[in-house]
Amino acid sequence: ERFKARGNELFRAGKFADAMTEYGKAINEHPDNPVYYNNRAMACLKIFRFEQAEEDCNRALQFDLKEAD
């Protein structure tokens, strides 16, 4: 959660690349949490990293689909 919180602070400050890094750290600690992928995807979109945003969205959706089964 600390990495997510820091990422959120950076995102609000407009430091999207730094926010991506923090969300990446959160993902490394908890790779099974789709929220972190969603957050990183939003930061990616802000700096026009569309392919990475799409990858993160797809990863988040995989978790949602697993829970639906």
Give CA–CA dist 61/53, Å, rounded.
12
The predicted pLDDT at position 26 comes to 98
Give CA–CA dist 45/47, Å, rounded.
5
The predicted pLDDT at position 63 comes to 83
Within 13 Å of residue 64, how many CA atoms lie on the same side as its CB?
10
Residue 58's SS3 state is: helix
The predicted pLDDT at position 56 comes to 97
Q: Is the pLDDT of residue 65 over 80?
A: no
Domains of the chain with CATH codes = 2-68 (1.25.40.10)
Across 20-42, average pLDDT: 97
